[in-house]
Amino acid sequence: MAELFERRADEPEIHPARKLLGSVSAVLQAPGQDFVTQKVDGLTLDFRGVVGDVHYGETRRSGGREPWYPRGTEMRNERQLSIVATDELAAIAKSMGIARIAPEWIGANLVLDGVPRLSMLPSGTMLFFKGGVTLKVDGQNVPCRLAGRSVAEHAGMPDIQAGELAFPKFGRRLRGLVAWIEKPGVIETGEAVSVRVPEQWVYR
């Protein structure tokens, strides 16, 4: 019977699903036309995103991240929230030679603590918040020069262009995640979150 459960030579290695626990250290919203956010008491979420946020909407316009569409094509908004981790922002700041990177500067909506290697959570990871909200991770938030310029300006870097270029370089795989709302509600600072990482394998 043991032979029935042996892995074939051509079968990918599958890593089992797992659970992690974390907490919300800050919630933020971009109330204007700029992507820069500000801290708030709580985030009200519905199926179109963060109510009142600049990225709110069922759809969005394509940009440089979607070269397969003409720029400005209307498409599904899978980037309803930006999620970052305190330790990863500190690592980017250290590499850039600045004291800190505030989550507001790069348009973050949620800051999570206690989840190791947050930016490496795979697509499909589900975040269950104590207050009832459920988010689903779409993927990594690729660092861009626009966010880099914001960091350089807010940090008072003497060479803004150098900072603009440094952020995409040092922020790769540390810039956090984008996610969409699966179950709406309100997320508040200090709330516990259960992270459900799905089965993983490498498709070759």
pLDDT, tens digit, 9 for 90 and up, residues 50-81 = 999 999 999 999 998 899 999 999 999 999 99
Provide the percentage of residues in the chain whose pLDDT is more than 90: 89
Provide the percentage of residues in the chain whose pLDDT is more than 70: 97
Cα-based angle 125, 175, 35 (whole degrees, multiple of 5): 100
- When pLDDT is cut at 50, 70 and 90, the band that residue 4 belongs to is low
Is it the case that residue 33 has pLDDT exceeding 90? Answer: no
For 124, half-sphere exposure in the C-beta direction (CA atoms, 13 angstrom radius) is: 8
Q: What's the rounded mean pLDDT across residues 39-54?
A: 96
Is 81 within 8 Å of 49 (Cβ atoms)? yes
Report the C-alpha gap between 144 and 146 in whole angstroms: 5
- Residue 29's SS3 state is strand
What is the DSSP-derived secondary structure letter of residue 26? E
- When pLDDT is cut at 50, 70 and 90, the band that residue 1 belongs to is very low
Please state whether the predicted TM-score (pTM) of the whole model is above 0.75.
yes
pLDDT tens for 145-190 read 999 999 999 999 999 999 999 999 999 999 999 999 999 999 999 9
Is 143 within 8 Å of 168 (Cβ atoms)? yes
What are the strands, taking DSSP E only, across the chain? 18-29, 38-39, 42-46, 49-50, 59-61, 74-76, 81-85, 110-113, 126-129, 134-140, 177-183, 185-188, 192-197
Q: What is the pLDDT of residue 7?
A: 64
Q: What is the pLDDT of residue 10?
A: 75
Q: What is the pLDDT of residue 5?
A: 58
pLDDT tens for 122-141 read 999 999 999 999 999 999 99
Is it the case that residue 3 has pLDDT exceeding 80? Answer: no
Q: What is the pLDDT of residue 105?
A: 98
CB neighbour list of residue 158: distance below 8 Å, 6 or more residues apart: none
Would you state the structure tokens that stand for residue 48, as one six-digit string?
């179109």
Average predicted confidence (pLDDT) for the chain: 94
